[in-house]
C-alpha cells in the first residue's frame, strides 16, 4: 500500500468525520486525488463512508469483514511476539484444540508477513524467550518496549555483556552490568535472567524497569541455567506484601503429583505425610489466585495468612455457597 494511502488510512482511524477539504490539506493533494484515494481504500474492503454537501466528508465505519491491517515495525513485532508467547502458554493450559490451532495459525501468518529487516531479529527474540504460565488475573501479558526487548534478545543470542539502568521496587535507580542469559515470561510479566558482574551472582530483572541499554566490549561463554525455574524459585523465596502458609496432610511428592502446574511458593517437607507451602506476593489478587489453585488439590489442609488474604478467601467461600 503506497505511503499516501497509509497516511490517509491513519488519519481516518484517528477520529470520526473529516471534512474533505481538511483531509486534502493534511495530505497535500487536490480534492480529485483525495476522492481517487478514497475509492482505492474502498476497493481494498475498508468501509469508508462519505457524506455530501457543504459539510461533506469521510469517516471509517465498521465492517462485517476484516480488511487488510497495517502495522508499523514496532506493532508488528509486538503482535508477533505476543502470539508466539501465547502459542507456548496455551500448550500447557486447558484450552480447546481450536484455540491452539487458531493461535498457531495467526502466529505463522504474521511471521511470514514480517519484512526481512525484522524477521531475523524477531526469530532471535523468540529463541531467547522461555514462556511460563499465562497472564495473571489483571489481564493480558504486558509487553515491554519492543526496542528494549530486541536489544536484550540480541545480547542473549550474541553472548554480549550489557549495562543498563534498572528501577528497583522502591523506585531507586541502579546501574547494572550483566551477562544476559534468557528472557522469561511469567504471570503476565517479562524478566531478564542474567549474571550480575558486580554482585557475582545470578539475578532476574523486570524488563519494563530496564532502560538505557548499552553494549559493553565483552563477550562471554554461555552458562547452563534453567531460566524459568530460576525466576520461579526467586519469586517463591521472596517476601512481599501479602503472605500465606498452607499445611497439607500429604507429602510434598504427593502434592506435586496432584497439582498440575507450577507451585509459586516454597514447598517444605514436614513429615512423610505432611508438607507446607509458603506463598508471598505484592498483589492480593495474585496470592489469592495461587491459593485457590493450590486448594483445589484433593487433600486436607490448614491455612495461616494475613487477614486481608483470609477475608478474601471467606468472600470466595460465601460465593461458592450460592452455587447449585
Let me know: does 256 contact 263? Beta carbons within 8 Å: yes
List per-residue pLDDT tens for the chain, 324 residues long. Answer: 456 777 788 788 777 788 888 888 888 888 888 888 888 888 877 888 888 877 778 988 765 455 555 666 666 677 777 766 665 554 444 445 666 677 677 777 777 767 777 777 778 887 888 876 554 433 445 667 888 988 999 999 999 999 999 998 778 899 999 999 999 987 678 899 999 999 999 999 999 999 999 999 999 999 999 998 888 888 767 778 899 999 999 999 999 999 987 788 888 999 999 999 999 888 899 899 999 999 999 999 999 999 999 999 999 999 998 876
Predicted pLDDT at 139: 42
φ/ψ region of 311 (left if φ > 0, alpha if ψ in -120 to 50, else beta) reads alpha
Architecture, CATH, for domain 238-320: 2-Layer Sandwich (3.30)
**Residues facing residue 211 across a β-bridge:** 165
Let me know: does 215 contact 188? Beta carbons within 8 Å: no
- Per the structure block, which three cell numbers stand in for 24? 486534502
Count the neighbouring beta carbons within 10 Å of the beta carbon of residue 92: 14
- The closest alpha carbon to 20, from 33, 7, 3, 1, belongs to 33
Distance between CA 210 and CA 218 in Å, rounded? 20
Distance between CA 81 and CA 183 in Å, rounded? 12
pTM strictly above 0.75: no
Each domain of the chain, given as residue ranges in start order, spans 3-60, 73-232, 238-320
Q: Are strands 160-167 and 210-219 parallel, antiparallel or unpaired?
A: antiparallel
Secondary structure of residue 278 in the 3-state scheme: strand
Report which secondary-structure segment, H or E, holds 56.
Answer: none
Distance between CA 27 and CA 64 in Å, rounded? 28
Distance between CA 190 and CA 310 in Å, rounded? 29
- For domain 3-60, give the fold: Arc Repressor Mutant, subunit A (1.10.10)
Predicted pLDDT at 2: 53
Distance between CA 85 and CA 153 in Å, rounded? 14
* 238-320 matches 3-60 in CATH topology: no
Predicted pLDDT at 269: 92
Report which secondary-structure segment, H or E, holds 128.
Answer: none
Let me know: does 255 contact 311? Beta carbons within 8 Å: no
Amino acid at each position: 500500500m503506497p505511503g499516501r494511502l497509509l497516511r490517509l488510512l491513519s488519519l481516518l482511524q484517528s477520529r470520526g468525520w473529516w471534512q474533505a477539504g481538511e483531509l486534502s490539506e493534511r495530505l497535500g493533494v487536490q480534492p480529485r486525488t483525495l476522492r481517487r484515494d478514497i475509492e482505492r481504500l474502498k476497493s481494498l474492503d475498508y468501509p469508508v463512508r462519505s457524506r455530501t454537501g457543504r459539510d461533506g466528508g469521510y469517516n471509517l465505519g465498521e465492517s462485517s469483514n476484516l480488511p487488510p491491517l497495517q502495522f508499523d515495525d514496532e506493532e508488528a513485532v509486538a503482535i508477533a511476539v505476543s502470539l508466539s508467547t501465547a502459542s507456548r502458554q496455551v500448550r500447557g493450559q486447558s484450552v480447546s484444540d481450536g484455540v491452539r490451532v487458531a493461535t498457531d495459525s495467526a502466529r505463522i501468518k504474521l511471521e511470514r508477513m514480517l519484512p526481512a529487516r525484522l524477521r531475523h531479529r524477531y526469530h532471535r527474540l523468540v529463541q531467547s524467550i522461555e514462556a511460563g504460565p499465562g497472564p495473571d488475573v489483571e489481564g493480558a501479558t504486558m509487553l515491554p518496549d519492543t526496542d528494549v526487548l530486541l536489544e536484550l534478545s540480541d545480547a542473549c543470542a550474541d553472548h554480549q555483556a550489557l549495562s543498563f539502568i534498572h528501577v528497583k521496587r522502591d523506585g531507586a535507580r541502579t546501574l547494572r552490568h550483566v551477562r544476559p542469559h534468557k528472557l522469561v515470561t511469567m504471570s503476565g510479566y517479562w524478566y531478564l535472567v542474567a549474571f550480575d558482574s558486580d554482585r557475582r551472582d545470578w539475578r532476574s530483572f523486570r524488563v519494563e524497569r530496564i532502560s538505557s541499554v548499552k553494549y559493553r566490549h565483552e563477550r562471554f561463554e554461555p552458562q547452563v541455567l534453567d531460566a524459568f525455574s530460576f525466576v520461579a524459585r526467586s519469586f517463591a523465596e521472596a517476601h512481599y506484601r501479602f503472605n500465606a502458609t498452607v499445611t497439607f496432610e500429604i507429602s510434598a511428592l504427593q502434592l506435586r503429583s496432584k497439582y498440575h502446574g507450577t507451585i509459586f511458593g516454597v514447598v517444605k517437607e514436614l513429615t512423610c505425610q505432611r508438607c507446607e507451602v509458603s506463598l508471598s506476593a505484592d498483589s492480593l489478587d495474585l496470592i489469592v489466585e495461587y491459593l485457590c489453585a493450590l486448594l483445589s488439590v484433593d487433600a486436607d489442609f490448614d491455612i495461616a495468612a494475613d487477614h486481608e488474604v483470609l477475608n478474601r478467601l471467606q468472600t470466595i467461600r460465601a460465593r461458592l455457597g450460592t452455587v447449585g
